């Protein structure tokens, strides 16, 4: 009897297998039940076994699902673009086209495009997303399509990234309409809508969506999504002028990211935390947070933008701590990164033009294939493309100009930092030489060279005729120029060294000119150490003509006695 029932079941199995297809819901079940399998061999074996339950086109659909999931598994294992994933995606695309199943083609094109999108290969991703979005137009807005919410999300992310923000926003809103409440998709979509509102400057709306994402993440037990929502709420708090609340949120974000091993999200939070701590003058904690973020960034060279952001925060901390050496070193890092990122931004601008051109070309191909375009529509599209390209070019030029402007600012600040460091070294050498007369002479020569460099820098900034580079009343350049002048303290130290090493000459001056002023004495002593008129003028903060007139007044007032002083000077040098 049991054998008879078993034989009857085996005979009926092909019938049940044939009836197994029916709808995309079953395909979604297969995808959801298998996409989280981490072992590639297990994944392949499970789907091979599953294919035996289907026949005809249904079996081919399962084969397409297997190819896509295996391609993604390869991608996760190597965490980069690779030939095996690319081959599997192309096989899946070819097979889905043969099946003429638009719903399946939408999903496969979206997954293939997102594979390239993950690694910022936007041009390679474009044809797949364009094909998917074109096919989506013919599909009803229902949640029963193959991974429909996920498809809409991924298309939204791509088109928003390449500048088609209107289309990207529309797709995201469609995904929100059909997403199941209290689901992973719902939390992620609310999070993305919050980011859109934040970029628009609508903090209240952004906070609203982030809180929805946070609440949904709690309900479904998605700790990482909860942590990300905390991080974004921290940005809103900082913009609201609540740094302490932001710090608390970011610390919790980091704690959760650490617990669940999300290193990238932890890095984002650590940089944001460092910035918030820096703004509240908790500099030691800020530096620790930056160091922890730097550990992750050092192994991810493609995240240069975040490394630049990290370095800018480090520079501000060094300035607050008045750590000149670290400040100079950070300027050098920023200078190097600035050069790299400037080139990348120009390449991104060119890529944007290329993306828009490719998008338009693909659109024209589709319209030509469908024979739905006439001459008037064609000319309108040419006009739109031309305007878009011109606007993009203007934007690229504006970005390049801003980048160069920022580069000049960095170069000026770097030069000021170098001169500041040179001044410190010079003062250190003077102190180590016990303020000897010869050391004072070297010190003044170096001061003169530094002043000459500062004046050149000031003239370059002035000739740039740009308010953003113009010296401000309390800017570092003006402070440096003022600090390099001979102060009363410097004069008294120099005078003491002169009396100590040239007592006869000094006594002779005081004997010949008992009523001499400090100003005239300063000039005579500086002449004695062979400083030229221009050097004296720089050190005293006066013009060369003023130095000459002062010498003439001395000659007129003291006559032959002044000549005798000069003669004594010459005799002293010859001896």
**Integer Cα distance of 367 and 253 in angstroms:** 48
Contact status, residue 393 vs residue 353, Cβ threshold 8 Å: yes
Backbone angles phi, psi at 202, to 5 degrees: -90, 85
- The per-residue pLDDT for 14 is 43
- The per-residue pLDDT for 556 is 85
Which H or E run includes 530?
none
Tokens representing 519? Answer: 């100003």
pTM of the model: 0.54
List Cα–Cα distances, 29 to 33, 35, 94, 144, 347, in angstroms. Answer: 6, 10, 23, 11, 42
**Integer Cα distance of 395 and 360 in angstroms:** 19
Contact status, residue 145 vs residue 103, Cβ threshold 8 Å: yes
List the one residue out of 111, 131, 164, 133 whose CA is nearest residue 369.
Answer: 131
Domain containing residue 526: 488-574
**Integer Cα distance of 575 and 572 in angstroms:** 5
- The per-residue pLDDT for 297 is 84
CATH number at residue 86: 1.25.40
Ranges of H-type helices in 433-487:
437-464, 476-483
Task: Go through 315-343 and write b for each residue having 16 or more CB atoms within 10 A of its CB, e for each that does not.
Answer: bbbbbeeeebebbbbbbebbeebbeebbe
Task: Go through 143-153 and write b for each residue having 16 or more CB atoms within 10 A of its CB, e for each that does not.
Answer: bebbbbbbbbb
- The per-residue pLDDT for 321 is 87
Whether 96 is covered by a domain: the verdict is yes
Whether 81 is covered by a domain: the verdict is yes
Phi and psi based region of residue 555 (left: phi greater than 0; alpha: psi -120 to 50; beta: remaining)? alpha
Tokens representing 405? Answer: 């402007």
- The per-residue pLDDT for 275 is 93
The tally of domains found in the chain comes to: 2
Q: Name residues of the chain where pLDDT drops below 70.
A: 1-25, 339-379, 407-408, 412, 415-435, 461-485, 566-575
Whether 533 is covered by a domain: the verdict is yes
Last residue of a domain, one of 140, 158, 187: 140
Whether 305 is covered by a domain: the verdict is no
Last residue of a domain, one of 84, 105, 140: 140
Whether 501 is covered by a domain: the verdict is yes
Tokens representing 445? Answer: 């020569």
**Integer Cα distance of 200 and 203 in angstroms:** 8
Whether 426 is covered by a domain: the verdict is no
Contact status, residue 76 vs residue 117, Cβ threshold 8 Å: no
**Integer Cα distance of 551 and 234 in angstroms:** 67
Whether 273 is covered by a domain: the verdict is no
- The per-residue pLDDT for 395 is 82
List the one residue out of 279, 360, 267, 339 whose CA is nearest residue 306.
Answer: 267
Last residue of a domain, one of 77, 109, 140: 140
Whether 451 is covered by a domain: the verdict is no
**Integer Cα distance of 39 and 239 in angstroms:** 44
**Integer Cα distance of 486 and 492 in angstroms:** 10
- How many Å separate Cα 136 from the centre of its chain? 34
Tokens representing 504? Answer: 């006869």
């Amino acid at each position: 009897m049991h054998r008879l029932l078993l034989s009857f079941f085996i005979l009926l199995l092909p019938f049940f297998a044939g009836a197994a297809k029916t709808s995309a819901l079953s395909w979604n079940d297969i995808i959801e039940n298998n996409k989280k399998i981490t072992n590639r061999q297990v994944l392949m074996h499970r789907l091979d076994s599953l294919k035996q339950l289907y026949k005809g086109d249904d079996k081919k659909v399962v084969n397409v699902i297997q190819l896509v999931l295996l391609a993604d598994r390869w991608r996760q294992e190597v965490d980069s673009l690779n030939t095996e994933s690319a081959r599997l995606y192309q096989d899946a695309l070819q097979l889905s086209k043969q099946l003429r199943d638009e719903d399946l083609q939408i999903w496969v094109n979206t997954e293939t495009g997102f594979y390239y999108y993950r690694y910022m290969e936007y041009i390679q991703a474009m044809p797949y997303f364009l094909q998917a979005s074109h096919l989506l137009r013919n599909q009803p807005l229902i949640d029963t399509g193959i991974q429909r919410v996920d498809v809409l999300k991924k298309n939204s992310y791509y088109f928003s990234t390449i500048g088609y923000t209107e289309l990207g926003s529309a797709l995201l809103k469609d995904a929100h309409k059909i997403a199941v409440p209290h689901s992973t998709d719902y939390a992620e979509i609310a999070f993305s809508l919050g980011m859109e509102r934040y970029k628009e400057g609508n903090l209240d709306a952004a906070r609203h969506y982030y809180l929805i994402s946070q609440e949904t993440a709690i309900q479904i037990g998605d700790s990482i999504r909860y942590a990300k929502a905390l991080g974004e709420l921290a940005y809103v708090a900082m913009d609201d002028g609540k740094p302490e609340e932001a710090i608390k949120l970011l610390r919790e974000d980091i704690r959760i990211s650490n617990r669940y091993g999300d290193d990238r999200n932890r890095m984002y939070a650590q940089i944001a935390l460092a910035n918030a701590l820096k703004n509240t003058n908790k500099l030691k904690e800020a530096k620790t947070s930056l160091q922890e973020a730097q550990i992750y960034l050092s192994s991810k060279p493609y995240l240069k933008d975040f490394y630049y952001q990290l370095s800018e925060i480090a520079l501000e901390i060094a300035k607050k701590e008045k750590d000149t050496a670290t400040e100079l070193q950070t300027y050098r890092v920023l200078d190097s990164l600035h050069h790299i990122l400037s080139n990348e931004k120009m390449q991104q601008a060119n890529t944007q033009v290329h993306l828009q051109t490719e998008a338009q070309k693909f659109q024209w191909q589709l319209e030509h294939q469908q024979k739905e375009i006439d001459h008037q529509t064609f000319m309108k599209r040419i006009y739109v493309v031309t305007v878009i390209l011109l606007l993009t070019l203007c934007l690229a030029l504006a970005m390049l100009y801003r980048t160069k402007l920022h580069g000049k600012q960095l170069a000026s600040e770097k030069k000021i930092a170098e001169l500041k460091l040179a001044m410190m070294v010079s003062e250190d050498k003077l102190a180590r030489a016990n303020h000897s007369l010869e050391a004072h002479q070297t010190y003044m020569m170096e001061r003169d060279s530094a002043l000459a460099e500062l004046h050149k820098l000031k003239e370059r900034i002035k000739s740039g005729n740009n308010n953003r580079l113009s010296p401000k009343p309390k800017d570092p350049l003006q402070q440096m120029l003022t600090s390099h002048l001979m102060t009363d303290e410097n004069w008294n130290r120099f005078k003491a060294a002169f009396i100590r090493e040239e007592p006869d000459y000094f006594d002779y001056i005081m004997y010949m000119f008992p009523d001499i002023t400090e100003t005239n004495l300063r000039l005579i002593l500086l002449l004695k150490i062979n400083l030229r008129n221009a050097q004296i003028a720089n050190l005293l903060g006066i013009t060369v003509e003023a130095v000459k007139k002062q010498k003439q007044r001395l000659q007129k007032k003291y006559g032959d006695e002044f000549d005798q002083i000069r003669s004594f000077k010459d005799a002293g040098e010859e001896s």
